[in-house]
């Protein structure tokens, strides 16, 4: 377990979010699957009513749009203040080259560095912690984008994945000043548990197996079972308590929880385990589905735009998923 506490003030402008315009409701989904059940059954089973899927858009397109939305909404924003771009994704435009330079070029951010970061469902929070660490070493701000296109890697014969995942992106600027900022980062935490590496995976396409024996091997596969569910739930619960302990806080100090939107049952079970009121837990899975590493940033953006936040409130970010990676952070509303 790696705990990080900024030795100087770190602030967050945003995040903003973007979803592609094409909406797939459950009735449309079932037609694609060629099965005859009611759409309401899908919502009851996985908690998703609609999800947004790309048509011709790519991972970088979503990140670019989320960032443009952020720039437009930020007062007195200046591109020249950005010195680095970190793009969190496991669904880049290509296996090579990385997608962050595409974002850099399209946004007209000249003379800046850029790199991709792959942390699956923990992507946004992992990128946030990395951005904060690197911001302490430079006098320039950092653009953080988390973008995932899951719809291109789904098997229409696999209900569990085909019904659950959506596409989307979130974007934020990490800075040292509270001016125009929305949040202050109090601390972050990263954990890896490689024993559950293949909990969520795409078997083929990497250096271990470049070419699958079938198209399905290039699609997302999720393992099922009560043991896996309980282990994932317990991991998120224990990691949440640990970061609060490291920051000398308790759940009583937390006003809002923004968890990764794995599925609605997991979100509800986590809130129950934490003994935290559901009306203080973000729930975006119903309208956006599981957007993997982008979901926490999108959820935080959704909460920010709800105008329910008050200065001084503390927010717990919780994420876990593919690769056995988990990431947590605690923010304070500016």
Whether 176 sits among the annotated catalytic residues: the reply is no
- Our CA angle for 278, 236, 161, nearest 5°, is 85
Q: Of 121, 130, 176, 328, which one is the catalytic site residue?
A: 121
Going by their DSSP bridges, the two strands 314-320 and 256-259 should be labelled as: parallel
Which of 182, 260, 263, 328 is labelled catalytic? Answer: 260
Q: Is 218 a catalytic residue?
A: no
Q: Which among 26, 182, 263, 290 is annotated as catalytic?
A: 290
Cβ neighbours of residue 78 under 8 Å, at least 6 residues apart?
none
Q: Is 290 a catalytic residue?
A: yes
The residue ranges of the chain whose pLDDT is under 70 are: 225, 227
| Residues 236/259, Cβ–Cβ less than 8 Å | yes
Query: What is this structure's pTM?
Result: 0.96
pLDDT of residue 230: 82
3-state secondary structure of 46: helix
Q: What is the pLDDT of residues 58-98, one digit of tens each?
A: 999 999 999 999 999 998 888 999 999 999 999 999 999 99
Model pLDDT for residues 23-35, shown as the tens digit of each residue: 999 999 999 998 8
Helix (H/G/I), strand (E/B), else coil: 141: strand
pLDDT computed for residue 225 by the predictor: 67
Rounded CA separation 176/208 (Å): 41
Query: What's the pLDDT at 38?
Result: 84
CB atoms within 10 A of CB 283: 17
DSSP letter at 137 equals: T
Long-range contacts from 264-269, C-beta under 8 angstroms, 24+ separation: 264/46, 264/47, 264/48, 265/47, 266/229, 266/232, 266/233, 267/47, 269/233
Report helix, strand or coil for 274.
helix
Q: What domains appear along the chain, each with residue ranges and CATH number?
A: 9-181 (3.40.47.10), 184-333 (3.40.47.10)
Q: What is the pLDDT of residue 290?
A: 97
Query: How would DSSP label each residue in 22-56?
Result: -EEEHHHHHHHHT----HHHHHHHHS-SEEE--SS
* Angle, vertex CA 203, rays to CA 202 and CA 204, nearest 5: 100
Residue 240 has φ and ψ, to the nearest 5°, of -65, -45
């Amino acid at each position: 377990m790696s705990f990080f506490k900024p030795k100087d003030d770190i602030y967050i402008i945003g995040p903003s979010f973007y979803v592609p315009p094409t909406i797939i409701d459950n009735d449309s989904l079932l037609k694609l699957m060629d099965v005859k059940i009611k759409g309401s059954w899908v919502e009851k089973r996985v908690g998703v009513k609609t999800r947004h899927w790309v048509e011709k858009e790519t991972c970088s397109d979503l990140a670019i749009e989320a960032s443009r939305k952020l720039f437009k909404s930020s007062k007195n924003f200046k591109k020249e203040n950005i010195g680095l771009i970190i793009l969190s994704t496991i669904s880049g435009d290509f296996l090579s080259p990385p997608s962050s330079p595409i974002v850099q070029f399209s946004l007209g951010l000249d003379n800046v560095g850029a790199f991709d970061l792959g942390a699956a469902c923990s992507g946004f929070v992992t990128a946030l912690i990395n951005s904060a660490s690197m911001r302490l070493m430079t006098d320039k701000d950092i653009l953080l984008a988390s973008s995932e296109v899951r719809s291109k890697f789904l098997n229409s014969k696999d209900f569990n994945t085909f019904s659950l995942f959506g596409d989307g992106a979130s974007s934020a600027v990490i800075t040292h000043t509270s001016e125009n900022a929305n949040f202050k980062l109090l601390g972050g935490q990263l954990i890896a548990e490689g024993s559950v590496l293949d909990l969520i995976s795409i078997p083929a396409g990497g250096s271990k197996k470049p070419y699958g024996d079938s198209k399905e091997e290039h699609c997302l596969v999720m393992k099922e079972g009560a043991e896996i569910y309980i282990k994932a739930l317990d991991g998120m619960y224990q990691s949440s308590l640990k970061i609060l302990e490291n920051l000398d806080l308790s759940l009583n100090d937390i006003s809002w929880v923004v968890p990764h939107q794995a599925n609605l049952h997991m979100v509800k079970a986590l809130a129950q385990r934490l003994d935290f009121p559901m009306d203080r837990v973000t729930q975006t899975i119903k309208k956006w589905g599981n957007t993997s590493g982008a979901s926490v940033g999108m959820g935080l953006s959704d909460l920010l735009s709800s105008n329910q936040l008050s200065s001084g409130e503390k927010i717990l970010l919780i994420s876990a998923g593919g690769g056995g990676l988990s990431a947590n952070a605690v923010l304070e509303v500016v």
